[in-house]
Amino acid sequence: MVLTISNQLVTAPGEHPTPVDKKKLKKVSLQHLSWSQIHTEAVIERVNRSVADPDQAWILSELIRYLEHSRSGAVDFEDMGASWVAVRNSVANRTLRASDKAAAQVVGRYGQLVSFAGMRLSRTLGVDVLPALTKAEVRDVGAYIQTGVLRLVETGILHGTLRFPNAVAPIEVTADLRSGLISCSISLNAPNKGHNATRVNWLTRQLSKAPDALLIEAWAIWARAPGPCHPITAVRKSPDILFDDPKKELRSFTVRLSAVAGTKRGQGRGTFVGSVLALVDSFYENVVQHIRPWTPPAPSVKVRQNDDEAAQGDDGISGELPLKSVQRDVSPPEWNPPEPVHEDNLEYSMEHPAESIEPTHDNGSTQLEPDHSQTPIPAVASADTLQTNSEG
């Protein structure tokens, strides 16, 4: 295995920043780590106190201190690249084409920015916060970037997702270059019991520290389009504004926080990178970490009455078996087998029971069935009888 380490970040795990001919990788695997990722993993180990040996823990602290020094040469995500301003203006003017190489560069840099935002939160939380990618996207990063380019050309939106351990839902990080807004949102299921107002209050009670600019959008069951969307301040006062028809149950909620995107390509105040990182940190701290998924309540014990007769229902069932000490002291009845029946005592009847059903013929007329009680059952004829009949 060949491992490379540099300041370059990757869009997806397993990707290499330098294009290499796949024919040369048949017998050897090529992996890449950025200094930002190494720094993040070291901080996670230190926060969780995973290193028990004192000497190794000291070496780990010295490594972190060295990487964080200004002269170490290790840097985090720097900027959106040289093509950022040109692509942003082309999106605003609707002149960007899917064949532009600069568009693929910006989509790739945005994926690296989302990955770096997860690294920053990993250092604070002590857990791995990674981009939420499917197995197909990890296997073919080129197709993933091409899908992002088509989305950018058609809608002007850059999209990324971060997955947090044990969080209610992944965070979707979007940047609308036409409107100049960046947004963080999550989608979570509503409780499946209670009235719609109760379901809305369940969510707002958990968002006591949310900013006033937070928007809540409701989705009704079987709905193809989202329902009303209002700020959380208005929803707290009147939960009914999130649903038009009380008979239609709410299926899920979308919680969204937006901010104005910076225009500069680098880091710092007024930059695009700085505005995205600040919004992701604020959204998780004030919104996501306070939401717990709904769980149905535990079954409650029904109040029992003291009277034995009242404890039983209308059908006389109490739900309990009798105790051994209170069972009736009654001996079980003796079982006497029936007397055997001898064949000599059996009487056989040659009569056929009368038919009580009158058959109906096809012409609708009813014909009386002959009385078989007076007609003997046909017997097998003997050979002498057959010969007499043939001579006659």
One-letter amino acid for residue 107 of the chain: V
CA distance linking residue 286 with residue 305, whole number of Å: 48
pLDDT of residue 95: 92
pLDDT of residue 114: 92
pLDDT of residue 344: 64
Tell me the pTM.
0.73
Instruction: Locate the DSSP E strands across 124-268.
Output: 130-131, 157-163, 171-176, 181-189, 215-220, 229-231, 250-260
DSSP 32: E
pLDDT of residue 142: 84
Residue 270, phi-psi category: left (phi > 0), alpha (psi -120 to 50), beta (remainder): left
pLDDT of residue 185: 95
| CB hemisphere CA count around 388 (13 angstroms) | 5
pLDDT by residue for the chain (392 residues), tens only, comes to 888 888 888 877 777 888 787 778 888 888 888 888 888 888 989 888 888 888 999 999 999 998 888 888 888 888 888 889 999 999 999 999 988 999 999 999 999 999 999 999 999 898 999 888 888 888 888 888 999 999 999 999 999 999 999 999 999 999 999 999 999 999 999 888 888 888 999 999 999 889 999 999 998 888 888 888 999 999 999 998 888 887 888 889 999 999 999 888 777 788 899 999 999 999 999 999 999 988 888 888 877 665 555 555 556 666 677 766 655 555 666 777 777 766 666 665 666 555 545 555 455 444 445 554 454 445 545 545 444 444 44
**CA 251 distance to own-chain centroid:** 13
Per-domain boundaries in the chain: 79-180+261-290
CA distance linking residue 276 with residue 273, whole number of Å: 5
pLDDT of residue 392: 45
Pairing of β 215-220 and β 250-260: antiparallel
pLDDT of residue 326: 58
pLDDT of residue 386: 44
